[in-house]
Chain A
Amino acid sequence: MNIDITTLLYCILGLPVLFSIIAALNIAGKNLLHWLNRIAATAVGAAVIQLVCIFDPDVPYSSEYLYLDALSMWMVIIISTLYFAFAWTSKAYLDRDTNARYGYLRRFGYLEGRFYALSHMFVLIMLMVVLVNNLGLMWVTIEATTLVSALLVAFKFTRTSLEATWKYVMVCTVGICLALLGTVIVYHLQLTDIGPEKPLDWVYLVQNRELISPVMAKFAFCFLFVGYGTKIGLAPMHAWLPDAHSEAPALTSGLLSGSLCICAIYVLMRNIVILLPAIGIDFISGLCLGFGLLTIAAAVPFVLVQRDVKRMLAYSSMENFGLMVAGLGIFIPMAVEATLLHMFNHALVKYSLFYVAGTIMEEYSTKNMMRIHGMMVQVPKTALFWLLGIVGILGMPPIGIFFSKFYIIYGFFQAEHPWMGVLALVLLAGMLMGILYHIMRMLGGKPTRKAASELIGKVDAAVIFGLLLFSAVVSAQISELPVFNHLLCNAAKIVLGGAAL
């Protein structure tokens, strides 16, 4: 099989569009819709595998609007893995909502099509974020993800979800508008210092980045950092994150937490690469480390007092984003590699956790963790996956996050920020205690409710197990997997500025 990269990219970007049109038109029956959804995602997954096989990380691909290098390839792998998982878990999730007795969707048959159309568009736009070659288009697509996902967060239009969505759209749009201001200033810098050819083209800007003058560059970076930081969910601007993640349908929460926020980190990385020589490493690294650790610190107390199961996961996501940004701020190859690996692991594990949390909410028909006891006895399968996922997200050995967290923390000490490393460790320990306390209460004890039946089926169990296993295998065996290893090293090199041009 010899398909060139262009065809594959069009395939990856085209299939979700095709499917969303079919889903939005509501011409397919329910079963057909579920299968088409799976086929679309699986085909995209196959195309990505083929792409990984033929793509040489040392030779980036570029066309008029698209650009693919090791960093974007890494992001495409993360997003398409989640896409695949989404497609294969969505039927089980939606079936609960169409339940004849209490399901929300039972009266609105057409809403399923709308949910699929929006979700696939959401994934498509995230893929576009990482595939476009232009800083302006990256901004446009990031803003588009906010808008599409807003409709998904508010999908059930309950009072709380409306509130969450309003906050989400308002806070993120203001933040993203500031990022637009930053992008405008970068373009201004390009016009005055470099020249008018290839406006905002990332590769062109990187080639000429030494020419950018420092004063305005600092301004631009501050706006970009605050803007995209809002979208990542960094500490003072994080107000929307727990609300949106907890009120959205579980599958959407998984996608939001797993892939959307790291898309914002990706765009921030691209901008940092350009502005690095003009601003100097100290300023950027200081901002990243400070805000990263502040985010972790802001998340810990809320986890300790949390009652809502999905909100707890949302704060745990914040902790992980804080760690990623701090890891980026360390700016040594090992830490950046660990950050990229952490993005991958966090996406996979957090998606499965959100899915399981959604299942638990259905099984016990409550979100309140204080009312859930004895899961081990009543719903052993769910309890097993819940425990595995939590053990993973807290950074304990069998799951991949252990390795990435370990290397990020190790990076703190290597890069001579030992006190920050100690602080991060203390905060992570607080997180671990808070979450484990809640989880153990949920898993152990005597069941207080009679009717709680197992809702995890075969397909979704296989998918979740696959996600956890994939994360564990890739992280533990990264040196044995030449394809991934090469990709990861090159991606880290790009982030540190040695772009493969």
Chain B
Amino acid sequence: MDYLVILLVFLVFLQTRIMDLKHAVYCLAAQSGAVALSCLVIGLASGEVIHGIVPAVLTLLVKVIFIPSAVLRIIGQLKDERESVSDINTNASTVAAALFLVLGYAIVNRILPDAAGKDVIAASILMIMTGLSLMVLRKRAIMQIVGLITLENGIYLLGLLLTEGLPLVVELGVFLDVLIAVVVLVILTSRMRLSFMTTDTSIMKKLKG
């Protein structure tokens, strides 16, 4: 489990530095894979085999295979495949991620001083906050989707650790929602490409006041 947490933290930090859209999606897929693995580990440790395997398999199918391939398909149709930010922005988001990690440990020590998987909780808080910062700081639609899935993964991991998984029906519903959300976002992105000739969301600022 410790190795998985290290891997996750590494992947999240990597995510803040990647500017190429394709690589960002690969990184996201790897991150979701790590979440699926930890899902399996936690599920098997708790003893209930079905409740451990089903969410892990679903994570694998939805977040590692379906979502990245859908997003990659859209990227294939784009011409400018890079996020358009300067180095300062990247460094800022990496430093922010580091701060989030410290914050995560601080929060865990304050609220749950005797919880079992402190590191996992800190990692999931890191993922939640980094996902949020990616959504705010990045301008490309694809990068914002990546941020959203990172955020979702973080919440999922936290839920997994705090409760050993939500009830199965709810879990299925959550997966369905993530799936539909990505489909909707991909539809919107491709429409954006047709209407604006780019997926840079910062040019959409007509609606104000």
Contact = CB atoms under 8 A, between A and B. Distances in A.
Interface of A: 65, 134, 136-137, 139-141, 143-144, 147, 150-151, 154, 157-160, 162-167, 169-170, 173-174, 177, 180-181, 184-185, 187-188, 191, 199-200, 215-216, 219, 242-243, 246-247, 302, 305-306, 311
A140 B177 contact: yes
Contacts of A219: 111
Of all A-B residue pairs in the complex, the 8 with the closest CB atoms, nearest first, are A136-B170, A140-B173, A163-B204, A184-B159, A199-B167, A188-B162, A143-B177, A243-B207
Contacts of B73: none
A216 B187 contact: no
B166 interface: yes
Q: Which of A147, A154, A157 has the most CB of B within 10 A?
A: A147
A242 B173 CA distance: 29
A14 to B, nearest CB: 19
Contact of A180 (B132, B155, B184, B192): B155
A169 B184 contact: yes
B135 to A, nearest CB: 7
Main secondary structure of the interface of A (DSSP, over half): helix
Contact of B188 (A136, A166, A199, A215): A166
Contacts of B174: 136, 139-140, 180
B195 interface: yes
B169 A134 contact: yes
Nearest to A200: B167
A320 B1 CA distance: 49
Nearest to A199: B167
Given A137-B169, A173-B181, 16 more contacts: A65-B169, A143-B181, A147-B177, A154-B188, A159-B195, A159-B196, A162-B192, A164-B207, A170-B144, A181-B128, A187-B163, A187-B167, A191-B163, A200-B166, A200-B167, A311-B209
A200 B128 CA distance: 23
A453 to B, nearest CB: 30
A94 to B, nearest CB: 21
Given A137-B173, A144-B177, A199 B204 contact: no
A199 B166 contact: yes
B25 interface: no
B158 interface: yes
Main secondary structure of the interface of B (DSSP, over half): helix
Contacts of A140: 170, 173-174, 176-177
B135 A150 contact: no
B86 to A, nearest CB: 23
B181 A163 contact: no
Interface string B170-188: 1001101100110011011
Contacts of A147: 177, 180-181, 184
A31 to B, nearest CB: 30
Q: Interface size bucket, B side? A: 35 or more
15 contacts: A136-B169, A137-B170, A139-B174, A151-B187, A157-B191, A162-B191, A162-B192, A166-B141, A166-B192, A166-B201, A177-B151, A187-B163, A191-B163, A200-B170, A219-B111
A435 B197 CA distance: 38
Given A147-B184, A151-B187, A173-B181, A185 B162 contact: yes
B173 A163 contact: no
A242 B206 CA distance: 13
A58 B103 CA distance: 48
B152 interface: yes
A216 B152 CA distance: 21
B75 interface: no
Nearest to B207: A243
Contact of A305 (B163, B207, B209): B209
Given A140-B176, A173-B181, A166 B204 contact: yes
A305 to B, nearest CB: 7
B170 A170 contact: no
A375 B170 CA distance: 51
A181 B155 contact: yes
Contacts of A166: 141, 188, 192, 201, 204
Contacts of A141: 173
B148 interface: yes
Nearest to A136: B170
A170 B148 contact: yes
Given A140-B174, A181-B158, A169 B188 contact: yes
Contacts of B195: 157-159, 162
A306 B195 CA distance: 27
A18 B79 CA distance: 42
Contacts of A242: 207
Contacts of B181: 143, 147, 169, 173
Contacts of B132: 174
